[in-house]
């Protein structure tokens, strides 16, 4: 059996080197390499998917000694929590490459950076060694910084710096926590599997490590009140950057919350469960309300991410507080599925907003009206993605949110107040649809100033929209993988 | 393949085919609904000979989706298919000159498929999904003419009001699954005690939203912005019916307390919306208010503990109300308006349509031997035999009286001409044959449906009213109320009837500004509050950046005017400092190292300050 996980992780890196070696070639060649490499990575992820996960622990583990003296090694592998995220990551990058094939500004650097980001992202989800995880985590940060700073919109420099400082300062506590966990382990190791099966810290040390990790992941997710970087970064980032930022990189926060905070300091997490739950509820409601007040379409979508990620926090907190393993599994199933759904739905929404901005050079909703008549394909795609985002049954978010709320009611009934979020998101999306796509068309937008989607854009969008429906109608094929792991978790 | 699946998949497949092929929408639509109807009738035949069936589908872990064919679900499915067929036949004519037939028929069939799923659902997840999907399809249909002024607000309002109420269904479902461990509806109906009360009241909230019960009745009148076949469908067998169907199906679980609340909600609604209908100046909006009022009567029956009576009225009302809308649609096309003043005397010019409309109106008022008489009679009998007779009976009779009143008023306006009114030359109508065919079918049903009531009672095996001590009392009471209503409505002007209530009724009896003031404004106020907080946070982050800047004395080029500039300079300064401090090549890793050094220092300093402060 060839080491498919490592191949999938490092294939994009090879692609990046190839692009940099072929500096002199035309932009088309660069984009071609990008699409081909990310396509091959997607294939790799599909092979990983077909190999599946184990009943307990991690599957497809690949391991090479690295720094044996300190117990660090190259270790990668997947379980039901990370495998869906790997597939999501590969898919989102693939469609983003297709969408970005129009980028002419320093296209070689763009493609190379995106491929580096792809390696870092899949690496972070598959790493089973804390040092390795941290390296991938930081590399993704740096790549995204350059992405925003180089290819962003009008105020990109400041947004990029704000993003960088915020998330960079945010990631330092994780390093402290990792050191703490390392020093607590006996014998010393950075093997995450050991930390999970036998949590090294307890008592005050565990609680301090948990707080440190929570800060990091709260900034990354982001959770109110650590979210200020998100709207600025999203608004200024290029569409490709926004898709990856929201679709993949926010998941580092929630994935870390489960993989590190929940699994490595379980007792402390349970003790702090109510506090974490409160943060989740506040984030969900605050994100929804803040989104309702937006007039900039991209900011609106950015704020709904805070709302949706809030549901994930709620789900994980509820899982920690639950005593019944079945309810715990329901909450975690919902949370992990929500990560996938959010990636698909928000990815589609950011692509659509990007396509709209490419044409109109504005994101201000008041500038639009009646567009569904002018750009029916773009318009109906937005309606579909918006209804998915507001949690309509039959579309991707519903099964995830249903499970999260169902578990919440059984464990901490008061927290069900967060369900108000689905009404507020409905209100803000219907408002946006009414303002941008319905009503009378002005003279400003005609088939000349605003053509409908072209083939490239359709190819980028179609896989996401199809999966949004598939995941809504038949979530079983993903849930089975997730459930296999969550039902067997010892705590 | 199972007939349950065909009943749902046929319209769904037709909808998708229409969208993909973008041609032959009419043919595909009629084919889809016919297949669905055949499947429903076959199921009806099977269950009437005792053959209940069930179809399990994969769903969430340990919670499979299921479709069930029982007498109740199949009967409702047949009703949906029959009304759907006639409305679609009518729509072929009504939409003849519309350029967007593809979108129209595709959405109509999606709507019918969702409704078939709702009535045939055997588990809560599927029911909830169908419940929300009919919300989506009605949003799309109400907003069909999205370019017309006001239409988008009507569609948005309809979706928002119903979705707010849907939270009741969500939470009720969670409670039921949590207390029984199963998502199968039949199993959860065994819930007792406080979960049953809570779930019952929450289900009532959801039903109030969908069935447009007071105080959530206002969206339904606005929904008239959609094409008339849409109104005919969503007022009869589909959207609005979902609320009452939910309560009828969960009736075995409802506790006496919940039943009383349901009865009162229904009673208040039937009177309030009946008065609105009486004072209405637009024919379609009048019919819409009347729908709320009739569903109020059904809730009275559920509240009286006789869901069977509610079901009979639901079925009779489906045929009657769709007939009325289809008739109104022809009048609308004749005069290009739905305002009653504009429609004055239109009945004389379209006598055949008027006769159909009038028969349906009399059926709704409850005149024998039309179907509405028997179903309304069952409701009055139910309230007579209820423990809460003193509350429910006056409401039921008032509702019946008002029904006679507004229907007679409408008939009188549609028939009578002013002295000075010229003979309007009606513009020739296209598609009248199709419209006539659809209307005839539904009016025939409205007239003769009562003949099927005994068979329905046997089929469902529900007791109608347990003790028949009242002999002919319900019939007499109902008839007196209906006839008085008709008399008043025909002869007495509405200004005299309603008096000081008229302006308020015209305003939809909105309390405290209605939905806008009670829901929209507070939500927007909170939203703007959050946005303000966002700015403060943003400034705060930037201010912290500036503080750190002074602390570290790393600023080189500080733009003191702009706080935003501060952060930029801070990093620039950091980088400069780092470059100077260690004369290393500038590069990715060094930049990162440098920033991390300063950042760590900053964190330490801030923590130290924090420690000193506390």
Provide the residue range defining the domain that includes A346. Answer: 283-491
Residue A224: list chain B partners with CB under 8 A: none
d(CA A100, nearest CA chain B) in Å:
25
Question: Which letter, b or e, does each residue of B438-448 get, where b requires 16 or more Cβ atoms within 10 Å of its Cβ?
Answer: bbbbbbebbbe
Residue A398: list chain B partners with CB under 8 A: 129
Q: Above 70 in pLDDT, residue B487?
A: yes
DSSP for B71-138 reads HHHHHHHHHHHHHHHHHHHHHHHHTTT-S-HHHHHHHHHHHHHHHHHHHHB-BHHHHHHHHHHHHHHH
A244: in domain: no
Measured CA to CA, the distance from residue A92 to residue A235 in angstroms comes to: 19
Measured CA to CA, the distance from residue B424 to residue B421 in angstroms comes to: 8
d(CA B193, nearest CA chain A) in Å:
17
Q: What's the rounded mean pLDDT across residues A342-371?
A: 91
Interchain CB contact of A430 with B (< 8 Å):
yes
Q: Above 60 in pLDDT, residue A414?
A: yes
Report CB contact under 8 Å: A158, B151: no
What pTM, to 2 d.p., does this model score?
A: 0.89
A88: in domain: no
Residue A329: list chain B partners with CB under 8 A: 61
Q: Please tell me which of the candidates A294, A406, A424 has its beta carbon nearest to residue B174.
A: A406
Q: What is the 3-state secondary structure of chain A?
A: CCCHHHHHHHHHHHHHHHHHHCCCCCHHHHHHHHHHHHHHHHHHHHHHHHHCCCCCCCEEEEEEEEEHHHCEEEEEEECCCCHHHHHHHHHHHHHHHHHHCCCCCCHHHHHHHHHHHHHHHHHHHHECEHHHHHHHHHHHHHHHHHHHHHHCCCCHHHHHHHHHHHHHHHHHHHHHHHHHHHHHCCCCCCEHHHHHHCCCCCHHHHHHHHHHHHHHHHHHCCCCCCCCHHHHHHHHCCHHHHHHHHHHHHHHHHHHHHHHHHHHCHHHHHHCHHHHHHHHHHHHHHHHHHHHCCCEHHHHHHHHHHHHHHHHHHHHHHHHHCCCHHHHHHHHHHHHHHHHHHHHHHHHHHHHHHHHHHHHCCCEHHHCCCHHHHCHHHHHHHHHHHHHHCCCCCCCHHHHHHHHHHHHHHHCHHHHHHHHHHHHHHHHHHHHHHHHCCCCCCCCCCCCCCCCCCHHHHHHHHHHHHHHHHHHHCCHHHHHHHHHHHCCCCC
- pLDDT, residue B559, reads 43
Render pLDDT for A103-136 as a digit per residue (tens, 0 to 9).
888 888 899 999 999 999 999 999 999 999 999 9
Report CB contact under 8 Å: B541, A162: yes
- pLDDT, residue B350, reads 84
Q: What's the rounded mean pLDDT across residues A209-227?
A: 89
- pLDDT, residue B522, reads 80
- pLDDT, residue B8, reads 92
Render pLDDT for A276-290 as a digit per residue (tens, 0 to 9).
999 999 999 999 999
Give the residue from chain A lying closest to B602, CA to CA.
Answer: A169
A53: in domain: no
Least confident residue range of A226-230, B32-36, B474-478: B474-478
Q: Above 80 in pLDDT, residue B584?
A: no
- pLDDT, residue B53, reads 85
Measured CA to CA, the distance from residue B92 to residue B97 in angstroms comes to: 10
Interface test with B, best of A402, A410, A414 (most B CBs within 10 A): A402
Interchain CB contact of A459 with B (< 8 Å):
no
Interface pTM, i.e. ipTM: 0.91
Residue A164: list chain B partners with CB under 8 A: 571, 595
The listed range with the strongest mean pLDDT (A321-335, A361-375, B423-437) is: A321-335
Domain ranges of chain B: 3-338+353-511, 516-613
Give the residue from chain A lying closest to B178, CA to CA.
Answer: A410
Better-predicted residue by pLDDT, A344 or B540: A344
Render pLDDT for B123-144 as a digit per residue (tens, 0 to 9).
999 999 999 999 999 999 999 9
Least confident residue range of A30-39, A371-380, B57-66, B298-307: B57-66
Measured CA to CA, the distance from residue B70 to residue B89 in angstroms comes to: 28
Interface test with A, best of B8, B12, B60 (most A CBs within 10 A): B60
Interchain CB contact of A398 with B (< 8 Å):
yes
Kindly report the average pLDDT of chain A as a whole number. Answer: 90
Interchain CB contact of A329 with B (< 8 Å):
yes
Measured CA to CA, the distance from residue A257 to residue A214 in angstroms comes to: 7
Interface test with B, best of A134, A162, A174, A335 (most B CBs within 10 A): A162
- What confidence category does residue B553 fall into, taking pLDDT thresholds of 50, 70 and 90? very low
Q: How far, in Å, are B78, B315, B444 from residue B82 at the CA level? A: 6, 11, 12
Residue A231: list chain B partners with CB under 8 A: 534
- pLDDT, residue B447, reads 84
Measured CA to CA, the distance from residue B40 to residue B233 in angstroms comes to: 18
Kindly report the average pLDDT of chain B as a whole number. Answer: 82
Number of cross-chain residue pairs from A and B with Cβ atoms under 8 Å apart:
150
Q: Above 50 in pLDDT, residue B558?
A: no
Cα(first)–Cα(last) distance of chain B, in Å?
Answer: 73
Q: Please tell me which of the candidates A403, A410, A439 has its beta carbon nearest to residue B146.
A: A439
Helices (H), B553-587: 563-581
Report CB contact under 8 Å: B61, A330: yes
A178: in domain: no
Render pLDDT for B194-206 as a digit per residue (tens, 0 to 9).
889 999 999 999 9
Q: Above 60 in pLDDT, residue A332?
A: yes
Report CB contact under 8 Å: A293, B164: no
- Per cent of chain B over pLDDT 70 is 83
Report CB contact under 8 Å: A426, B163: yes
A377: in domain: yes
Q: Which two tokens stand for residue A160?
A: 């990029």
Which DSSP state fits B426?
Answer: P
Q: Above 70 in pLDDT, residue A479?
A: yes
Q: Please tell me which of the candidates A286, A329, A387 has its beta carbon nearest to residue B530.
A: A286
Residue B147: list chain A partners with CB under 8 A: 370, 373, 438-441
d(CA B533, nearest CA chain A) in Å:
9
Q: What's the rounded mean pLDDT across residues A232-250?
A: 90
d(CA A430, nearest CA chain B) in Å:
6
Q: How far, in Å, are A123, A152, A364, B412 from residue A77 at the CA level? A: 10, 34, 44, 78
Q: Above 70 in pLDDT, residue B614?
A: no
- pLDDT, residue A163, reads 81
- pLDDT, residue B464, reads 60
Q: Please tell me which of the candidates B147, B156, B538 has its beta carbon nearest to residue A430.
A: B156
Tell which residue, B218, B179, B224, B210, has the closest CA to residue B197.
B179
Q: Please tell me which of the candidates A166, A292, A333 has its beta carbon nearest to residue B523.
A: A292
User: Could you give the number of structural domains in chain A?
Assistant: 1
Q: Above 80 in pLDDT, residue B517?
A: no
Render pLDDT for B9-67 as a digit per residue (tens, 0 to 9).
999 999 999 999 888 888 999 999 999 999 999 999 888 887 788 888 888 888 889 99
Please name the residues between 506 and 535 in chain B that touch chain A, using a CB distance below 8 Å.
523-524, 526-531, 533-534
- pLDDT, residue B570, reads 62
- What confidence category does residue B503 fall into, taking pLDDT thresholds of 50, 70 and 90? confident
- What confidence category does residue B586 fall into, taking pLDDT thresholds of 50, 70 and 90? very low
Q: What's the rounded mean pLDDT across residues A63-80?
A: 87
Report CB contact under 8 Å: A158, B524: no
Q: How many CB atoms lie within 10 A of CB A183?
A: 12
Q: Above 50 in pLDDT, residue B554?
A: no
Strand partners, B60: B63
- pLDDT, residue A418, reads 92
Q: How far, in Å, are A75, A121, A128, A440, B490 from residue A62 at the CA level? A: 6, 17, 9, 59, 86
Report CB contact under 8 Å: A392, B136: yes
- What confidence category does residue B560 fall into, taking pLDDT thresholds of 50, 70 and 90? very low
Render pLDDT for B301-350 as a digit per residue (tens, 0 to 9).
999 988 888 999 999 999 999 899 888 888 888 888 888 888 888 888 88
d(CA B1, nearest CA chain A) in Å:
19
Render pLDDT for A139-196 as a digit per residue (tens, 0 to 9).
998 888 888 888 888 878 777 877 877 777 888 899 999 999 998 888 888 999 999 9
Better-predicted residue by pLDDT, B423 or B247: B247
Report CB contact under 8 Å: B167, A423: yes
Q: Above 80 in pLDDT, residue B355?
A: yes
- pLDDT, residue B561, reads 45
Q: Please tell me which of the candidates A158, A424, A476 has its beta carbon nearest to residue B567.
A: A158
Q: Above 90 in pLDDT, residue A87?
A: yes
Which DSSP state fits B144?
Answer: T
Residue B121: list chain A partners with CB under 8 A: none
Q: Please tell me which of the candidates A162, A434, A487 has its beta carbon nearest to residue B567.
A: A162
Q: What's the rounded mean pLDDT across residues B82-86?
A: 91
- pLDDT, residue A123, reads 94
Q: Above 80 in pLDDT, residue B296?
A: yes
- pLDDT, residue B416, reads 82
Report CB contact under 8 Å: B595, A422: no
Interchain CB contact of A373 with B (< 8 Å):
yes
Please name the residues between 287 and 306 in chain A that touch chain B, using a CB distance below 8 Å.
289-294
Better-predicted residue by pLDDT, A469 or B522: A469
A29: in domain: no
Render pLDDT for B396-448 as a digit per residue (tens, 0 to 9).
999 999 999 899 999 988 888 776 655 555 566 677 788 888 888 888 888 88
Strand partners, B53: B69
Report CB contact under 8 Å: A225, B603: no
Cα(first)–Cα(last) distance of chain A, in Å?
Answer: 32
- pLDDT, residue A149, reads 86
- pLDDT, residue B203, reads 93
Interchain CB contact of A451 with B (< 8 Å):
no
- Quickly tell me which residue has 């709209």 as its tokens: A356
Residue A140: list chain B partners with CB under 8 A: none
- pLDDT, residue B565, reads 58
Report CB contact under 8 Å: B147, A440: yes
A35: in domain: no
Interchain CB contact of B609 with A (< 8 Å):
no
Q: What's the rounded mean pLDDT across residues A422-434?
A: 92
- Residue A57 CA, chain-centre distance (Å), reads 23
Interchain CB contact of B175 with A (< 8 Å):
yes
């Amino acid at each position: 059996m060839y080491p498919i996980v490592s191949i999938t992780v490092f294939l994009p890196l090879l692609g990046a080197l190839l692009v940099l070696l072929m500096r002199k070639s035309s932009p088309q060649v660069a984009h071609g390499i990008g699409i081909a490499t990310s396509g091959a990575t997607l294939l790799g992820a599909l092979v990983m998917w077909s190999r599946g996960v184990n009943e307990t622990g991690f599957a497809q583990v690949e391991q090479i000694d690295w720094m044996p003296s300190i117990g660090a090694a190259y270790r990668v592998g997947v379980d039901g929590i990370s495998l869906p995220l790997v597939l999501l990551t590969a898919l989102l990058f693939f469609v983003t490459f297709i969408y970005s094939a129009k980028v002419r500004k320093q296209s070689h650097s763009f493609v190379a950076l995106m491929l580096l980001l792809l390696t870092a992202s899949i690496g972070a989800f598959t790493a089973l060694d804390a040092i390795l995880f941290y390296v991938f985590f930081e590399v993704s940060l740096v790549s995204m910084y350059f992405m925003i700073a180089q290819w962003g919109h009008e105020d990109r420099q400041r947004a990029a710096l704000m993003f960088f400082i915020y998330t960079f300062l945010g990631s330092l506590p994780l390093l402290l926590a990792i050191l703490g966990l390392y020093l607590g382990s006996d014998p010393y190791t950075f093997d995450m599997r050991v930390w999970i099966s036998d949590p090294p810290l307890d008592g005050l040390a565990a609680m301090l490590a948990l707080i440190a990790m929570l800060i990091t992941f709260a900034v990354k997710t982001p959770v109110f009140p650590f979210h200020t970087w998100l709207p600025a970064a999203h608004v200024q980032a290029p569409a490709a950057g926004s898709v990856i930022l929201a679709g993949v990189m926010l998941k580092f926060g929630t994935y870390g919350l489960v993989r590190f905070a929940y699994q490595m300091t379980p007792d402390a997490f349970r003790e702090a469960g109510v506090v974490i739950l409160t943060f989740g509820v506040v984030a969900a409601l605050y994100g929804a309300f803040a989104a309702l007040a937006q007039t900039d379409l991209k900011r609106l979508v950015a704020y709904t991410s805070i709302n949706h990620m809030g549901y994930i926090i709620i789900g994980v907190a509820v899982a920690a507080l639950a005593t019944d393993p079945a309810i715990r599994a329901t909450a975690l199933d919902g949370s992990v599925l929500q990560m996938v759904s959010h990636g698909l739905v928000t990815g589609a929404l950011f692509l659509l907003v990007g396509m709209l901005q490419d044409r109109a050079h504005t994101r201000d909703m008041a500038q639009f009206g009646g567009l569904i008549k002018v750009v029916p394909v773009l318009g109906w795609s937005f309606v579909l993605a918006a209804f998915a985002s507001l949690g309509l049954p039959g579309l991707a978010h519903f099964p995830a949110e249903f499970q999260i709320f169902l578990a919440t009611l059984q464990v901490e009934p008061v927290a069900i107040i967060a369900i108000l979020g689905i009404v507020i998101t409905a209100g803000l999306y219907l408002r946006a649809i009414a303002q941008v796509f319905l009503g009378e068309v002005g003279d400003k937008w005609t088939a000349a100033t605003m053509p409908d989607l072209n083939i490239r854009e359709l190819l980028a969008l179609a896989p996401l929209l199809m999966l949004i429906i598939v995941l809504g109608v038949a979530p079983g094929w993903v849930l089975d993988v997730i459930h296999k792991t969550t039902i067997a978790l010892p705590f | 393949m199972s007939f349950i699946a065909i009943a749902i998949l046929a319209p769904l497949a037709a909808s998708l085919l229409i969208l993909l092929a973008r041609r032959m929408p009419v043919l595909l639509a009629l084919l889809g609904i016919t297949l669905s109807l055949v499947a429903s009738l076959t199921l009806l035949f099977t269950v009437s000979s005792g053959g209940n069936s069930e179809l399990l589908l994969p769903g969430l872990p340990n919670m499979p989706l299921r479709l069930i064919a029982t007498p109740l679900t199949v009967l409702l499915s047949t009703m949906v298919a029959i009304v759907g067929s006639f409305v679609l036949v009518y729509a072929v004519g009504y939409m003849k000159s519309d350029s967007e037939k593809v979108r129209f028929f595709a959405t109509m069939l999606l709507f019918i498929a969702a409704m078939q799923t709702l009535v045939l659902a055997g588990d809560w997840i599927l029911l909830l999904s169908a419940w929300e999907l009919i919300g989506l399809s009605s949003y799309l249909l109400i907003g069909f003419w999205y370019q017309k002024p006001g239409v988008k607000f009507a569609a948005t309002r309809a979706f928002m009001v119903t979705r707010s109420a849907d939270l009741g269904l969500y939470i009720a479902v969670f409670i039921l699954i949590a207390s029984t461990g199963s998502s199968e509806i039949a199993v959860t109906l065994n819930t007792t005690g406080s979960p049953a009360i809570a779930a019952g009241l929450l289900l009532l909230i959801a039903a109030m939203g969908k069935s447009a019960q007071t105080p959530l009745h206002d969206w339904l009148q606005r929904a008239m912005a959609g094409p008339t076949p849409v109104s005919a469908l969503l007022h009869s067998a589909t959207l609005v019916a979902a609320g009452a169907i939910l309560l009828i199906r969960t009736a075995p679980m409802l506790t006496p307390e919940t039943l009383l609340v349901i009865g009162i909600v229904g009673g208040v609604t039937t009177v309030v919306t009946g008065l609105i209908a009486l004072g209405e100046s637009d024919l379609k909006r009048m019919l819409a208010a009347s729908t709320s009022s009739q569903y109020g009567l059904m809730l009275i029956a559920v509240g009286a503990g006789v869901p069977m009576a509610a079901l009979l009225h639901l079925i009779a009302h489906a045929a009657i109300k769709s007939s009325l809308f289809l008739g109104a649609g022809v009048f609308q096309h004749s005069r290009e308006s739905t305002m009653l003043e504009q429609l004055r005397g239109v009945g004389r010019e379209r006598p055949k349509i008027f006769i159909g409309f009038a028969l349906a109106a009399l059926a709704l008022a409850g005149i024998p031997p039309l179907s509405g008489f028997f179903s309304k009679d069952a409701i009055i009998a139910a309230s007579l035999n209820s423990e809460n007779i003193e509350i429910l009976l006056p409401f039921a009779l008032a509702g019946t009286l008002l029904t006679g009143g507004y229907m007679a008023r409408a008939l009188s306006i549609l028939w009578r001409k002013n002295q000075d009114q010229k003979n309007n030359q009606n513009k020739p109508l296209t598609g009248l044959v199709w419209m006539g065919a659809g209307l005839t079918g539904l009016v025939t049903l409205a007239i003769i449906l009562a003949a099927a009531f005994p068979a329905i009672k046997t089929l469902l095996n529900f007791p109608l009213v347990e003790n028949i001590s009242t002999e002919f009392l319900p019939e007499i009471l109902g008839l007196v109320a209906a006839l008085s209503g008709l008399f008043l409505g025909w002869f007495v002007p509405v200004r005299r009837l309603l008096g000081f209530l008229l302006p308020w009724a015209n305003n939809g009896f909105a309390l405290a500004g209605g939905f806008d003031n009670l829901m929209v404004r507070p939500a927007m106020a909170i939203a703007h509050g959050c946005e303000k907080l966002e700015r403060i946070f943003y400034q705060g982050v930037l201010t912290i950046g500036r503080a750190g800047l002074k602390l570290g004395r790393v600023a080189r080029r500080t733009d003191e005017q702009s706080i935003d500039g501060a952060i930029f300079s801070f990093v620039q300064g950091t980088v400069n400092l780092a470059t100077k401090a260690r004369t290393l090549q500038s590069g990715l890793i060094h930049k990162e190292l440098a920033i991390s050094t300063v950042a760590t220092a900053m964190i330490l300093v801030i923590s130290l300050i924090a420690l000193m402060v506390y």
